[in-house]
A and B are shown apart, each in its own frame.
Chain A
Amino acid sequence: MLRYTVLSGFLGSGKTTLLRRTLAAHADGEVAVIVNELAPSGVDAHLIADACAAIVEIAGGCACCDKRPELVDAMRCLLDRHERGRLLSLKHVVIETSGLADPLPIAVAVATDPVLRHHFELSSVVTVVDGLGEPSLGDYPEFNRQVMGADRLLISKTDLATPAQVQALAGRLPGQPGILERTSDAWPTLLDPPRTGGVVRSVQPPDEKAHQHAAGIASMSLNVDRALDWTAFGVWLTMLLHAHGQRVLRIKGVVDAEGLGPISINAVQKVLHRPEHVGSMPKDGRALVVIAHGLQADLVSRSLLAFQQIA
């Protein structure tokens, strides 16, 4: 399976800079890039054209909505070139979204395409946040969705902001955002999948059970103090996504399945990526994070436990 990363972030947040650093560290033809620009023509593709195995530019709209067919075509084109041997070393595709794009429909578009879903596996959704000042969560629903939908948040431009500014920004974001320091050699690479407990920690609010945002999106952490019956959990999760899939942005975390061990769960809206075994449970507990619009945390938690009781 090839893997893909959705690189998101508001306008001017530093997505391309992070991408160039990642490509510089992987200059072996393993990474292809799809660049989505809201403008009819952009410069990002020129900046990275020489550093990656292949580049496809989708300009003049957002890949999360009106340019979604072009995104699917671009992914299929890269797959075709890989299978014909023209991109033989290809292992990873990075989709750099436009600054106003919602990253989750992009991940869903790939995961539900009848061809692509058999060849591509979501690595992670990474969102870059401008360290000099993020747009207000309530004022820009696009930014809100970029933050809430991310597996990993990274704060950029930290050399231009004061440490207090960066710390304050990190405190306003859910989870524990990573810090991108210009002088550091150890930048996180976009290609690392957050498949372990980091998935949970990256979005879990530090001291609240449900973290409510202005746009009505809540991140709730379902703490389960015992191993789950895998059959009942599957029944519950499929039914929840069936009834409320449109309101569920993400479900992610690691569950301790009785007799089977830790299994990672990663759902984007109605689409659930194939659950996988992981080595160990997260250090900070058995938490399943549900990011949804208009669902009550206590009711979701009660429902999960009720289904476990009938197993």
Chain B
Amino acid sequence: MCVLCADLAGEVHWTERSMQSTTEEETSNEARRRQARFRRVRVVNRILGVYGLSIRQDLSGTQFVVSDAKGAQELARDLDQVWLAADRLAHTTVDPLDRRLLDRLEC
């Protein structure tokens, strides 16, 4: 548990696991994790933007903050929770097979 925010350390989501070799992982694990998380936020923002939502990392870099245009926010620990939060904020199911989404991504 984080002594500052009382956040319970959960299981590492599979998208957050480093798939580098063990040797590379040892050298710069934390830096790689942050880089990968930054890239993930960039990709997810392209998708959530279609639904009028956005995502950023929280200050500790351990959680995501999903927001709508009116300022409503939800915290999410991993991508599974991001999509659940996005459903609630967008009042619809965010769907990767949504033709409107695919049209926008293919532009």
**Chain A residues at the B interface, C-beta cutoff of 8 Å:** 230-232, 234-236, 238-240, 242-244, 257, 260, 263, 272, 274-275, 277, 295-296, 299-300, 302-303, 306-307, 309-311
Contact = CB atoms under 8 A, between A and B. Distances in A.
Given A231-B43, A296-B97, 17 more contacts: A230-B19, A234-B40, A234-B79, A235-B43, A235-B44, A235-B47, A238-B80, A239-B79, A239-B95, A257-B19, A260-B19, A263-B19, A272-B14, A299-B102, A303-B96, A310-B43, A311-B43
Contacts of B99: 299
The main secondary structure of chain A at its interface with chain B is helix
B96 A239 contact: yes
Contacts of B94: 239, 242-243
A240 B96 contact: yes
B93 to A, nearest CB: 6
B89 to A, nearest CB: 14
Contacts of A306: 102, 105-106
A274 B15 CA distance: 9
Contacts of B77: none
Contacts of A295: 97
21 contacts: A231-B15, A231-B40, A231-B43, A236-B96, A238-B80, A239-B95, A239-B96, A242-B94, A243-B93, A243-B94, A260-B19, A263-B19, A272-B14, A275-B19, A299-B97, A299-B102, A302-B102, A303-B102, A306-B106, A307-B43, A311-B43
A306 B43 CA distance: 11
B56 interface: no
A307 B19 contact: no
A112 to B, nearest CB: 12
Contact of A310 (B14, B36, B84, B105): B105
B34 to A, nearest CB: 13
B23 to A, nearest CB: 13
The main secondary structure of chain B at its interface with chain A is helix
B107 to A, nearest CB: 10
A306 B15 CA distance: 19
Contacts of B96: 236, 239-240, 243, 303, 307
Contacts of B97: 240, 243-244, 295-296, 299-300, 303
A258 to B, nearest CB: 11
A56 B19 CA distance: 37
A-B pairs with lowest CB-CB distance, top 8: A234-B15, A242-B83, A238-B79, A243-B95, A306-B105, A239-B96, A310-B46, A303-B96
Nearest to B19: A260
B98 to A, nearest CB: 8
Contacts of A232: 43
A298 to B, nearest CB: 10
B39 interface: yes
B6 to A, nearest CB: 21
B60 interface: no
Contact of B79 (A235, A243, A260, A303): A235
Among A230, A234, A307, chain B packs the most CB atoms within 10 A around the CB of A234
A243 B101 CA distance: 13
A245 to B, nearest CB: 10
Interface string B1-36: 000000000000011010110000000000000001
Among B36, B95, B99, chain A packs the most CB atoms within 10 A around the CB of B95
A274 B17 contact: yes
Nearest to A267: B14
A240 B96 CA distance: 6
Nearest to B18: A260
B76 to A, nearest CB: 11
A299 B100 CA distance: 12
Interface in B50-102: 79-80, 83-84, 93-97, 99, 102
